[in-house]
Amino acid sequence: MAKSKLGLAKQLAREEKHIEWVRKNLPRSQQERKCQKRILLTRTKLLVEVGN
């Protein structure tokens, strides 16, 4: 299911706040790597949506 640009922007904001917490409390963990990957994928989706 495709998300709207606004939905992707909100998700990205939530993920960025979450990774700050993860980096503080769980540095160099698998959870941090997964969160970083989700941020990368969300940013990419957002850029593709804006480009179209």
In the prediction, which pLDDT does 2 show?
57
Count of structural domains, the chain: 1
CB atoms closer than 10 angstroms to residue 51 = 6
H-assigned helices in 1-52: 5-25, 30-51
Could you tell me the maximum CA-CA distance found in the chain, to the nearest angstrom? 38
- Which range marks the domain in which residue 27 is found? 5-51
Give yes or no for a contact between 31 and 22, defined as CB atoms under 8 angstroms apart.
yes
d(CA 11, CA 3) in angstroms, rounded, equals 10
8-42 tens-digit pLDDT:
999 999 999 999 999 999 999 999 999 999 999 99
Report if pTM > 0.85.
no
